[in-house]
Structure 1
Amino acid sequence: MGHREELMRGARRCLEERGYARTTSRDLAAAANAPLGTINYHYGSKEALLNAALMEALNEWGERIVSGRPAQSRPDAGSVARSAAMWAQVIDTVVRERPMIVAAVEAHAQAERSPEIRRQIAEAFESTRPRLAAELHGDDLGWDEETTRAVSSVHMALIAGLTQQWLVDPERAPGAREVALGLRAIARALESGG
């Protein structure tokens, strides 16, 4: 394995163990067992390496949320079952992968000052939207592009909010059943004009 791959693996370890903001170039080089100069040679900067490692981890996290689904979440299941299964998967991954999710939250804060990480996160959001709608609601609903984007955006907002609640207060954060119950109640209220 070359230095580039070792740097990526080391960056992922640093993100999990030290977080985004507290990882130094020396930490990255030590975790990769590589000379300090290899970071700039292969990635251009410490931030570029951390961003690449974080985006790789977040893309994998997104894949775990929508793939490996239990039977009740497959496209032939009802929309409510798929949605509840996805919320359970989100919660499970936040619990199991807490250090990396915390690093992602730190990186989102860094996006305010880093146009590159802001661009990468924004592109990841945008590329996820169409797939998220299809995974949760199926491809056969006949939604136009605007509706598909709106539905996916709402789900993404809910995932972000649910993730934050589980990071801050896991004892009182809502479970998958509670999220599904709340969404059904909101949908009924909207349909009735209330």
Structure 2
Amino acid sequence: MGHREDLLEGAKRCLLAKGFARTTARDIVKESGTNLASIGYHYGSKDALLAQAYIALVEHASDGFEGGGDEGAEIGGEPGSLERFRAVFSNIVASMSEPGSMWGLGMEIMTMGDKLPEVRDQLVRAQREGGRGMVALMTSVPEEEVPDETADTLGALYMTLITGLIAQWTFDAKSAPDAEQLTEGLRQVLEGARKTP
């Protein structure tokens, strides 16, 4: 690996160990075996590097949303069905309850958004793409074929659900909903929508 990759891997380890606000550039250098100048050269700033590291952690965690993260893994339920929703959210909830889960970092980073505008902009773009990925996962439409309008509506809905779920798991994991409860809630919304003239 080169310095760029070493820095990214070191930053990921620092984020998991210390969080965003408490990680210093020196921590990353020590963890990556690189030097301070490398951070600016490759990423522009420590905060930009940490944002990239967080995005990489989220992408790795989201690989498991399909069920184990295996390429081409079979997801339960027909595309667009409640069973598919249950299967995907069951995997999301499982990733949140794993020891050392990185999802709490999301809450820390969200609260720092106004203080770090360049990081916020980077994460906003990543969140839109995350929504596109969720639409692809739920519908089996290839990600590159999901239109922007769908990423900005249905994808935004999925990302809002995930963000709320992260907040609830961070605040009190014991009372946070599981996939069964979320699926039942969605079923009730759909049933109510059918009854509305």
TM-score (normalised: structure 1): 0.84
Q: Which amino acid aligns with 1:184?
A: R
- 1:90-169 superposed matches below 5 A: 90-96=92-98, 98-139=100-141, 146=149, 149-169=152-172
**How far apart, in 1, do the equivalents of 2:33 and 2:140 lie?**
46
Which structure is higher in RCO with an 8 Å CA cutoff and minimum separation 6? 1
2:41 alignment partner in structure 1? 41
Cα distance in 1 for partners of 2:138, 2:22 equals 36
SS at match of 1:92: helix
Match of 2:6 in 1: 6
Counterpart Cα distance in 2 of 1:99 and 1:173: 15
Out of 123-132 and 15-24, give the one that drifted further: 123-132
Alignment correspondent of 2:58: 58
Q: Could you say which residue in structure 2 is the equivalent of 1:181?
A: 184
Q: Distance in 1 between matches of 2:126 and 2:99?
A: 19
Deviations 1:91-138 (A, max 9, x none): 111122654222222222222222221221111122233332232134
Aligned pair in 2 of structure 1 residues 71, 51: CA closer, same or farther (>3 Å)?
A: closer
Q: Structure 1's 149 and 47: CA in aligned 2 closer, same or farther, altered over 3 A?
A: closer
Question: What is the deviation of 1:33?
Answer: 2.3
Deviations 1:115-172 (A, max 9, x none): 2212211111222333322321344xxx986466422221211111112111221111
User: Which segments of 5 or more consecutive residues in structure 1 lack a partner in the other structure?
Assistant: none
Separation in 1, partners of 2:7, 2:151: 38
Q: Give 1:177's aligned amino acid.
A: E
- The answer on whether the counterparts of 2:66 and 2:137 sit within 8 Å (CA) in structure 1 is yes
CA distance in 1, matches of 2:160, 2:186: 13
Distance of aligned partners of 1:186 and 1:49 in 2 relative to their CA distance in 1, 3 Å threshold: same
Q: Which runs of 5+ in 2 are unaligned?
A: none
Deviation at 1:20, TM superposition (A): 0.2
Residue 66 of structure 1 contacts residue 132 of structure 1 at CA under 8 Å; is this kept in 2? no
1:65–1:187 Cα change, 3 Å: same
Q: Tell me the distance in 2 between the aligned counterparts of 1:170 and 1:18.
A: 20
Alignment of 1:65-80 (within 5 A): 65-66=65-66, 68=68, 71=74, 73=76, 76=78, 79-80=81-82
Contact 2:104 2:166 survives alignment (8 Å): no
Residue 170 to residue 11, structure 1, CA distance change in 2 (3 Å): same
% same residue: 31
One of 165, 169, 174 as aligned partner of 1:171: 174
Runs of 4+ in 1 over 3 A off after TM superposition: 66-72, 143-149
Task: Figure out how many residues of one structure are paired with residues of the other and give that number.
Answer: 190
Q: Any conservation in 1 of the 2:75–2:84 contact (CA below 8 Å)?
A: yes
